[in-house]
Structure formats: C-alpha cells, structure tokens
Chains A and B, each alone.
Chain A
C-alpha cells in the first residue's frame, strides 16, 4: 500500500520531560490505524505533532513525501484533528460544521450541501439552526466529527473520539469511521484506550508505552501473535501502570 505520512526518528520533550522517544512509523493511505496505550503514553502529543501543532524536538515528518517546512497551513488543510474534548464555537450547529469550508473560501451552495451531508452522516440532520453549545455531550461529539470531515480531509486524526459516550453513540461513531473510509478512502489514525474498539475497526495497531512505540503490527498480528511481551500484557489488561 501507498504511504501517506512518514515519521522518522521523532522525539519530543517538554522542557526536561521526554514524552516521545524515537518514533518511526509509516501511515498508509486508506488505512485505519489505531494508536493505543495507557494514559499519559503520548498519544495526544503524537497526534498534535502529526497535525503540525507541535514542533518535535527532533525527527522528520513527511506528508505525501513533502517535508513540512514552510507550508504548514497547506499541509494542515489536507488533514483534520478531532480533539479529545472538542471545542465548540459560540454559534449554530450549521456555522460550526461549515467553518472549515468557509475558511477555504468555498461557495455557499456547496457549503449548504456538504454541511447537510456531513450532518446526515453523523445523524444530526435537522439540528442546523440549534445553538451548538446546547447540544448534549454525545451530539456535540458527533457535531465535532461532522465538522472535521466536512471538507474531505485526506487524513483524519481522531483523539479518543468515543471516550465519554454511551454505547449507542460509540456504535454510531464507529460506523461513521468505517463508512467514510470505505466511501471516501480517508486515512484514519485513531487514538484509543478501548481494546474492543480496536478489534472492531482497526487495520493496523501501534502500541505506545511511556513515549515509545513498542510494536506496530496488523490487528490480527497484534492480537494473535504479538512481538513484544509488553504488548500482550497491555492488550490483556494485565499491565500495571
């Protein structure tokens, strides 16, 4: 499969604190890649670096073979990061979802259609005019999801998109993730603690432990024949951290 994002020898420190150590990883076009690991392992930090929010202390990032120097905004516009706790603009659901299209200067008609279809996908049709801050937590999460996919990003970075949701909402989001991958070919990197979720949706898995990517493997590989003993312990929930 074709590579979309290559990460080489990446290190990240906040002051003295090393948060990511020597990460090497290639994200392939069209895959659903699950990034798992205990709390504090560095999942959010890695996603923020991929979205070019945070400059790594060391290492190379190549999106589509392009080095990121000098054109951060152009590269960032081809992806989307859904935050662990989405921030919602003080505006209607429609205006929230339309945001990424408006900053790209898309025409009104197209915006109307794209917003409508994005809201449809996440099951929020008819909520366009509601003030976004009055949505329930599950609805807000789905709205943020619609906002992240509305402009068809090539790469969708999801930071624990189902962490605080009830089973119905979790199922809905997982269905949407699979659907946009199959319908649009979107590449997806999802950070999660949820091992059953990994089984349900991932193609490949990376296990992050204390800032180190201890194993990258196919889903089958990692569950049936993990290469690292710590992977097995983590996946079985036997790891104490």
Chain B
C-alpha cells in the first residue's frame, strides 16, 4: 500500500466512524466538551469579576496580581499538569481527596490554564472602554455599580471573545490533562474499535495514544472533530468581533 492510499483509506474510515456515530469516539468527544466546557465556565466566573476588580479598584497587591495574570496567560500546560499531579497524588498534600486521574482533576488543571487568559483579554477589553463613557455614567447620576454595568455593556463583545479564546485553548490543550487525567478509557470495546467508553480520555489525549498505537483512521476521525470544534469556536469569536 502506498503512503497516499494509506492516508486516503485512513480518511475514508475516519468519516465512516463519524457518520456512524461511533460510541468510542463520541464518548471521547463528550469528555472533551464536558471537561473544557466546565473549566471554561468556572474560569469565566472567576475571570470576569477579577478583571473588573483589576480595572476599577485600587488595592494592595494589585500590580502583583496583574503580573500573575500576564504570566499565567503563557503558562506551559505540562507545568500546570505536573503541579496539579504533585498536589493530587496519594502522597501529595491533597492526596486524600482521591482526585488524581479523574475528570475533576482535569477540570482543575484547565481552570488554572484558562482563567488568566480570560482575565487578561477581558481586562484589555474593559480598559479599552473610553474614560468619557464612564464619566458620562457619573455625570448622569450613575453609581459605581452603574459604571461597572455600562462598562460590561460596552465591552461585551470583547469579553465574549475572551471566553471563547479560553474555550478554544482548553479544547486544544493536551499536556496538562494527559498528566492529571491519565487518558483512561474503560476496558471492553465499544463500537468495534479502541477500548471502552472514555473516562478521562479527550480528543487531544486520544489522538496521542491512538497515533502511537498506529490506529491512524481513529486519530484522523478524532482530529477532524477537534478541528471542527475549534473552528466553530473561532468562527463564533470572529462573529462577535465583527459586531464591535
């Protein structure tokens, strides 16, 4: 078999797997969406108030926090994975929680990765709201709370973009969740390929293991789904940027 044929066969089989709603592949996709989606929601709940606090309040340690956020935006995922791993292994400080190699551990890792990204991009969007807008709120009789709401309205598309950037990053991430999640699927095959349904196996971690096992068509199928998800997130982000 030539290498082109090999590739074409791989792609054809990949589409078959997707069209037939292969249970193994769909359980993996489900775990990806659940882990990255939950991490992004939790990160958003932290990041937006944090960004507003950094923009509106003066407090001790604010500069240090901004530095932390900026550093966090470029944090290497494997480092975060290693850190959470050390915390959660049975001998570690939080070993009693029994959380290593669970979806929850993966959510924590991605939460740590994504929170600074959403905070940083939101803060930039908030700071881009012209000062006269805020002053107009005050001169028309508004309170600081009204100023925060008005800023949220002005920066809304930028903030949505920040959240989508965080989600995109989480979906594409592999280093951290591989270490703390362990890429686990249940034993027993579902749908004729691979192992059983996914427990902590995501699109990205499955691609690494399927590829090293030599199951190229499964990898390609997973890759197509991953790219489609990321593309949708990016298209959505572009749409909201266009609204500005």
A contact set with B: CB distance below 8 Å: 51, 53, 73, 76-77, 80-81, 83, 85-87, 89-91, 99-100, 103-104, 147-148, 151
B contact set with A: CB distance below 8 Å: 130, 132-133, 135-143, 146, 150, 153-154
For the complex, give the distance between the alpha carbons of A85 and B138 in Å. 16
Across the interface, which residues of A come within 8 angstroms of B130, CB to CB?
87
Please list 22 pairs of residues, one from A and one from B, whose beta carbons are closer than 8 Å in the complex, sorted by A's number: A51-B139, A53-B138, A76-B139, A83-B136, A87-B130, A87-B132, A87-B136, A89-B133, A89-B136, A89-B150, A89-B153, A90-B153, A90-B154, A91-B153, A99-B140, A99-B142, A100-B140, A103-B137, A103-B141, A103-B142, A103-B143, A104-B141
For the complex, give the distance between the alpha carbons of A100 and B133 in Å. 13
CB distance from B158 to the nearest CB of A (A): 11
Cross-chain pair count, CB within 8 angstroms: 49
User: Across the interface, do A87 and B143 meet the contact criterion of CB distance under 8 Å?
Assistant: no
- Nearest to B131 among chain A residues (CB) is A87
Across the interface, which residues of B come within 8 angstroms of A77, CB to CB?
141
For the complex, give the distance between the alpha carbons of A90 and B139 in Å. 17
Q: Given contacts A100-B141, A148-B140, list 7 more A-B pairs with CB under 8 A.
A: A73-B141, A77-B141, A80-B139, A80-B140, A90-B154, A99-B140, A103-B146
The majority secondary structure among interface residues of chain A is loop
Across the interface, which residues of B come within 8 angstroms of A87, CB to CB?
130, 132-133, 135-136
CB distance from B155 to the nearest CB of A (A): 9
Across the interface, which residues of A come within 8 angstroms of B132, CB to CB?
83, 85-87
Known: A90-B154, A103-B146. A83 touches B138 (CB 8 A): no
For the complex, give the distance between the alpha carbons of A81 and B136 in Å. 8
Known: A83-B135, A87-B132, A87-B135. A103 touches B140 (CB 8 A): yes
User: Across the interface, do A53 and B135 meet the contact criterion of CB distance under 8 Å?
Assistant: yes
For the complex, give the distance between the alpha carbons of A73 and B141 in Å. 7
For the complex, give the distance between the alpha carbons of A97 and B114 in Å. 39
For the complex, give the distance between the alpha carbons of A77 and B140 in Å. 7
Known: A89-B133, A103-B146. A81 touches B154 (CB 8 A): no
For the complex, give the distance between the alpha carbons of A53 and B154 in Å. 22
Across the interface, which residues of B come within 8 angstroms of A86, CB to CB?
132, 136
CB distance from B25 to the nearest CB of A (A): 43
For the complex, give the distance between the alpha carbons of A189 and B181 in Å. 67
CB distance from B218 to the nearest CB of A (A): 47
Q: Which of B133, B138, B140, B142 contacts A147 (CB 8 A)?
A: B140
Across the interface, which residues of B come within 8 angstroms of A103, CB to CB?
137, 140-143, 146
Across the interface, which residues of B come within 8 angstroms of A104, CB to CB?
141
For the complex, give the distance between the alpha carbons of A151 and B136 in Å. 14
User: Across the interface, do A76 and B141 meet the contact criterion of CB distance under 8 Å?
Assistant: yes
Across the interface, which residues of B come within 8 angstroms of A83, CB to CB?
132, 135-136, 139
User: Across the interface, do B154 and A89 meet the contact criterion of CB distance under 8 Å?
Assistant: yes
Q: Quick one: which of A81, A83, A87, A104 has the most chain B CB within 10 A?
A: A87
The 4 closest A-B CB pairs, nearest first, are A87-B132, A100-B140, A77-B141, A103-B142
User: Across the interface, do A151 and B139 meet the contact criterion of CB distance under 8 Å?
Assistant: no
User: Across the interface, do B139 and A53 meet the contact criterion of CB distance under 8 Å?
Assistant: yes
Q: Quick one: which of A77, A90, A104 has the most chain B CB within 10 A?
A: A90
CB distance from A196 to the nearest CB of B (A): 28
CB distance from B156 to the nearest CB of A (A): 8
CB distance from A67 to the nearest CB of B (A): 20
Across the interface, which residues of B come within 8 angstroms of A99, CB to CB?
137, 140, 142
Q: Quick one: which of B132, B133, B135, B136 has the most chain A CB within 10 A?
A: B136
For the complex, give the distance between the alpha carbons of A53 and B142 in Å. 13
Across the interface, which residues of A come within 8 angstroms of B133, CB to CB?
87, 89
For the complex, give the distance between the alpha carbons of A148 and B143 in Å. 16
Q: Quick one: which of B130, B137, B139, B153 has the most chain A CB within 10 A?
A: B139
- Nearest to B146 among chain A residues (CB) is A103
